[in-house]
Amino acid sequence: MRITVAQLNYHIGNFERNSRLIIDAIKKARDEGSDLIIFSELCVTGYPPLDLLDHIDFIRRCEETVYKIADSCRGITAIIGSPIINTQPEGKKLFNAALALSDGKVIFEARKALLPTYDIFDEYRYFEPAKDFRIFEFQGKRIALTICEDLWDEQPFPNEFEKSRLYTISPMDELAKYNPDLVINISASPFAYTRIEAKRKIFIGKALKHGIPVISVNQTGANTELIFDGGSLIIGKNGKIFKQLPFFEEALYTFNLESLYEDFTEPEPVVPDTVMLVYKALNTGIKDYFGKSVFSKAVVGLSGGIDSALVLVLAVEALGKDNVVALILPSRYTARQSVDDALKLTSTLGVKYEIISIEKPFTAFEEILKPIFRDLPPDVTEENIQARIRAVLLMAYSNKFGHILLNTSNKSEAAVGYGTLYGDMAGGLSVIGDVYKTDIYKLARYINRKRIIIPESIIKRPPTAELRPSQLDTDSLPEYRILDEILFRYIELQKPAKAIIEEGFSEELVKRVIKMINANEYKRYQTPPILRISHKAFGAGRRMPIVAKY
């Protein structure tokens, strides 16, 4: 049996585009002599369709598209992902399904049993979980057809709860009762740099446990803040990886199923460098955010600091230098070096730029507010005014020329509220809002691995907001190398203060950092969409009350 794995980039709700991608892949697979081609979870709609699933006309378009694709399956069978209607009077109105199509018909359907409701997932909001399990028989092979989470049943709770398993049922154990010859898993698994190895272990573990090959097909590309890495896996019955498809690229791969039952000698694919993967993820996120919307151009506020430098480089690579503009907005506190470094970077990248001093509007605000502020000394109020003046200018450019403003705040700043609401937190897309400051430097070094693009003076210079004389980030925050360690433990690992302190961190500092995190939840509610590269990003995946005392 010849099988083709189709790792493609889908657009939510774009039925014409998605069906064209799928049908083109079916034709190519048939030309290569494939008997079966496999696509990813909810490929008909794009993932995640969210509340579009509540619209009956959306579901009707799904049905029409399924049969359009089925009509192209002549001489070949395709496995696709689509919502289907639950015809029973009880339960949610839809199932998340894997459908086998052949000769214009749906010849088999498998329904997803484990519906994740953690992190960014909320599938039980829309879908009824499957309770019955059947085997798909195809060309003499018994296939256990599963959908994403159905193979993740053994994953542990994400924190220190006493329970060790998240689910009470194993769909694969149920399907194993029918002695399958092959496991196929179609998925829409978002990228998280901490989960690459975990994914591998899950699929390898299933192959070894049941002694049969496992084929896992993931999508690639990005939809709003979610980025999909691809990396589809084909694993032999011996638990060895036969093939891993590339990360963040579309790919079709055809092979003979019989090879997966043999003792093949293909070298084990190396897990790519984490920094490189994060860089590719951010690049993919920007490219698809623009490519799947009505916008094509971006504007970046370039300060001469490392955060905005990184965002500018990413934007230029994703969109092209002719589609990116940098605004340099110096104040009375901006060092000459900051402007020089910003100009040097724009020259290296070949990017158009404008220099607009904020001195006049800032002076005007000081004069207007002087009667109200009386003789009160300058403080964070005046700092925030400068940040908001910059936001007004950036958004004015955005409005006038149709450029999306790319936000340049990092995760460390967002976590502790080190940013100005309606100021440097403004934008249409937060590019590095899920990247800690210490990782910003790693990405900068990655960019400069072959030649100097980001000036070394930007990388080596101590971080500063330049909103008052001789200001440094460390005036208000701990050193980032310490801060980020605490943040990671509290946000990603969800460890309580006591556990973090027991690891050797200062009790006073840990409590201060956690207080800052909790106190600034209201700011994070108003941030732009944040490109997600971790398993616990701010936004839809981390839901915290604003008015709470804990």
Inter-residue contact 284 to 273 (CB < 8 Å): no
Q: Are residues 325 and 251 in the same domain?
A: no
How far is Cα of residue 395 from the mean position of the Cα atoms in its chain? 25
Q: What is the pLDDT of residues 145-155, one digit of tens each?
A: 999 999 988 76
Number of Cβ within a 10 Å radius of residue 71? 13
| pLDDT tens-digit readout, 377-407 | 999 999 999 999 999 999 999 999 999 999 9
- Is the domain of 197 the same as that of 50? yes
pLDDT(161) > 70: no
Q: Point out the domain boundary residue: 229, 263, 297.
A: 263
50 and 141: one domain? yes
User: Domain for residue 117, yes or no?
Assistant: yes
Judged against a pLDDT cut of 70, whether residue 157 lies above it is answered with no
Q: Which residues pair with 226 in a beta bridge?
A: 223
Q: Is the dihedral of CA 159, 161, 163, 164 positive or negative?
A: positive
Q: Kindly state whether residues 246 and 283 are assigned to the same domain.
A: no
114 and 144 in a common domain:
yes
Average pLDDT over residues 520-540: 93
**Same domain flag for 444 and 405:** yes
Amino acid 265: pLDDT: 76
Residues 89 and 164 in one domain: yes
Domain presence at residue 478: no
Residues 3-53 have pLDDT tens digits of 999 999 999 999 999 999 999 999 999 999 999 999 999 999 999 999 999
**CA–CA separation, 135 vs 137, rounded Å?**
6
Structure pTM?
0.94
Select from 142, 211, 128, 218 the least CA-distant residue to 175: 142
Catalytic residue, candidates 73, 112, 128, 466: 112
Q: Residue 510: which residues within 8 A CB-CB, separation 6 or more?
A: 486, 497, 500, 501
Mean pLDDT of 187-213: 94
Q: CA dihedral defined by 11, 16, 18, 21, rounded to 10 degrees?
A: -130
Tell me the per-residue pLDDT of 55-65, one tens digit each, with 9 for 90 and over.
Answer: 999 999 999 99
**β-bridge pairing 298-301 and 324-328:** parallel
Q: How far apart are CA 513 and CA 440, in angstroms?
A: 20
pLDDT band at 164 (very low <50, low <70, confident <90, very high): low
Residue 131 inside a domain? The answer is yes
Flag whether 508 is in a domain: no
134 is in which domain, residue-wise?
2-263
Residue 30 lies in a domain: yes
What confidence category does residue 158 fall into, taking pLDDT thresholds of 50, 70 and 90?
Answer: low
**Annotated catalytic residue 268:** no
Question: How many whole angstroms separate alpha carbon 389 and alpha carbon 395?
Answer: 10
pLDDT of 65: 98
Is residue 36 situated within a structural domain? yes
The count of domains in the chain is: 2
User: Tens digit of pLDDT for each residue in 97-106?
Assistant: 999 999 999 9
pLDDT at position 546, please? 82
CATH classification at residue 305:
3.40.50.620
Both ends of the chain: CA-CA distance in Å?
Answer: 58
- Picking from 410, 438, 473, the residue at the C-terminal end of a domain is 473
Residue 544: predicted pLDDT: 84
Type of residue found at 81: G
Mean pLDDT of 194-212: 93
Among candidate residues 431, 448, 473, the one where a domain is terminated: 473
Whether residues 326 and 462 share a domain: the answer is yes
Q: Which of 138, 128, 84, 132 is nearest to 107 (CA)?
A: 138
pLDDT band of residue 160 (cuts 50, 70, 90) is: low
pLDDT digits (tens, 9 = 90+) for 116-152: 998 889 999 999 999 999 999 999 999 999 999 999 8
In tens, the pLDDT along 299-324 reads 999 999 999 999 999 999 999 999 99
- The one catalytic residue in 43, 62, 73, 148 is 148
Confidence band for 271, pLDDT divided at 50, 70 and 90:
confident
Same domain, 34 and 146: yes
pLDDT at residue number 433: 97
CA distance 530 to 429: 6
CATH of the domain at 121: 3.60.110.10
Tokens 């009077």 appear where? 89
Does the annotation mark 148 as catalytic?
A: yes
CA dist., res. 339 & res. 360, Å (int) = 18
* 62 noted as active-site residue: no
Same domain, 324 and 427: yes
Give yes or no: residues 26 and 129 share one domain: yes
Q: Clarify whether residues 236 and 288 are in a common domain.
A: no
Domain-located, residue 59: yes
Res 168: pLDDT: 84
Q: What is the model's pLDDT at position 424?
A: 95
Q: 10 Å Cβ neighbour count for 159?
A: 9
Mean pLDDT, rounded, of the chain: 95
Within a domain: 103 = yes
- pLDDT at position 8, please? 98
Model confidence at 294, pLDDT cuts 50, 70, 90, reads confident
pLDDT over 80 (residue 163): no
Asked whether 145 and 108 are in contact (CB, 8 A), the reply is yes
**259-to-1, 189, 234, 449 alpha-carbon distances in Å:** 10, 26, 11, 39
